[in-house]
């Protein structure tokens, strides 16, 4: 089986911010692997997530997701690729406030034929996930505004998992939750990803979260970050 992620010799710098650069010589994540990516805030974790999701492209090097080189895809094809293969969970504000719980969970199915095929009975699959993620079933048709933050994150997890994408990217998904809610959320997320066979990459700065994963990757070990400490301030100002 092909690795889910294979990164080689990637160099990335935000346009207009020459001093901040991220370079990753090599990184490989296998199918179904559950990885915690840890590092202090501002260490480039989100940049890495954006690169893996194909939202931004590296200046050089190669990022392959499921054997596909993202840089070789057009921007529209990258969007379609992301819709097909990647589920995303953010720290907060994951949901469309005007949709119901079910509508939010089934949102990715609107954009991906592959994931529609993976959840042929969309509502049934959504209800299964609602049940599996221990959300009250009465909430299925409720507007998401009435949910607690913990419940909202579970809805986001259900949405990332529906249709069985090969990769779930979670960016600090538990940082707004208390310890009990956090543990339960991780249990359920890891449980369900095992069921669908999705690899999970979770960005966190929390050691307790990282400890729950198969593999812990401190960002400073896999990546070199140049920040341009000397004179960085001036050059940023000059650039702006």
Partner 1 sequence: MSLLRLALGSLLARRWTVLLAVISIAISVALLLSVERLREGARSSFAGTISDTDLIIGARTGGVQLMLYSVFRIGNATNNFTWKTYRDIASDPAIDWIVPISLGDSHRGFRVVGTTRDYFTRLKVRGGKQLRLAQGKPFDDLFDVVLGADVAAQLGYRLGEKIVVSHGTGAAGLTEHEDKPFRVAGILEKTGTPIDRSLHVSLEAIEAIHVDWQAGAPIPGVSLTPDQVRSLPLKPRAVTAAFVGLKSRIAVFRVQRAVNEYAQEPMTAVLPGVALQELWSVVGVAESALRGVSVLVVIAALLGMTTMLLATLNERRREMAILRANGARAGTIFGLLMIEAAAIALTGALLGLLLHLVAMAGAGAWLDRSFGLYIPWRGVSWQDLGLLAGIIVAATLTGLVPALRAYRLSLIDGIGARL
Across 147-160, b (16+ Cβ under 10 Å) vs e yields: beebbbbbbbbbbb
d(CA 177, CA 81): 31
Residue 26 or 110: the one with the smaller Cβ distance to partner 1 is 110
Q: Which long-range contacts (CB under 8 A, 24 or more apart) does 40-44 make?
A: 40/205, 41/205, 43/219, 43/220, 43/225, 44/20, 44/219, 44/223, 44/225
Q: Does 140 bind partner 1 (CB under 8 A)?
A: no
Q: What residues numbered 18-57 form the site for partner 1, per CB under 8 A?
A: 46, 50, 53, 55-56
Residue 93 region by backbone torsions, left for phi larger than 0, else alpha for psi between -120 and 50, else beta: left
Residue 170 or 210: the one with the smaller Cβ distance to partner 1 is 170
Q: Tokens 């529609």 correspond to what residue?
A: 116
Q: What residues numbered 161-220 form the site for partner 1, per CB under 8 A?
A: none
Residue 116 or 184: the one with the smaller Cβ distance to partner 1 is 116
Binding segment for partner 1 (CB under 8 A), chosen from 1-9, 100-108, 134-142, 207-215, is 100-108
Q: What residues numbered 62-81 form the site for partner 1, per CB under 8 A?
A: 75-76, 79-80
Q: Does 159 bind partner 1 (CB under 8 A)?
A: yes
Q: Does 58 bind partner 1 (CB under 8 A)?
A: no
Closest separation in Å from C-beta 172 to partner 1: 12
Residue 34 or 159: the one with the smaller Cβ distance to partner 1 is 159
Binding segment for partner 1 (CB under 8 A), chosen from 109-117, 146-154, 189-197, 214-222, is 109-117
**Pick from 94, 152, 174, 192: which binds partner 1 (CB under 8 A)?**
94
Binding segment for partner 1 (CB under 8 A), chosen from 31-39, 63-71, 102-110, 213-221, is 102-110
Question: In whole angstroms, what separates CA 128 from the centre of its chain?
Answer: 22
Please report, as ranges, the residues that interact with partner 1 according to CB under 8 A.
46, 50, 53, 55-56, 75-76, 79-80, 82-84, 88, 90, 92-99, 103, 106-108, 110-112, 115, 159
């Amino acid at each position: 089986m092909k690795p889910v992620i294979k990164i080689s010799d990637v160099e990335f710098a935000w346009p207009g911010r020459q001093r901040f650069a991220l370079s990753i010589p090599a990184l490989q994540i296998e199918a179904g692997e559950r990885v915690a990516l840890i590092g202090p805030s501002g260490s480039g974790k989100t940049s890495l997530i954006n690169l893996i999701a194909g939202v931004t492209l590296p200046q050089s090097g190669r990022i392959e997701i499921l054997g596909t080189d993202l840089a070789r895809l057009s921007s529209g094809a990258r969007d379609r690729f992301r819709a097909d293969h990647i589920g995303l969970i953010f720290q907060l504000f994951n949901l469309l406030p005007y949709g119901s719980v079910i509508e939010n969970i089934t949102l990715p199915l609107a954009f991906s034929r592959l994931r529609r095929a993976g959840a042929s009975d969309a509502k049934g699959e959504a209800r299964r996930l609602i049940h599996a993620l221990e959300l009250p079933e009465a909430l299925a048709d409720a507007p998401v505004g009435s949910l607690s933050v913990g419940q909202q994150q579970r809805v986001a997890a259900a949405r990332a998992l529906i249709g069985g994408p090969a990769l779930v990217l979670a960016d600090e998904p538990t940082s707004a939750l208390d310890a009990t809610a956090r543990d339960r959320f991780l249990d359920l997320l890891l449980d369900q990803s095992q069921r669908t066979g999705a690899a999970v990459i979770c960005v966190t700065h929390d050691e307790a979260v990282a400890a729950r994963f198969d593999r812990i990757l401190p960002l400073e070990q896999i990546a070199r970050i140049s920040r341009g400490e000397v004179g960085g301030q001036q050059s940023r100002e000059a650039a702006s």
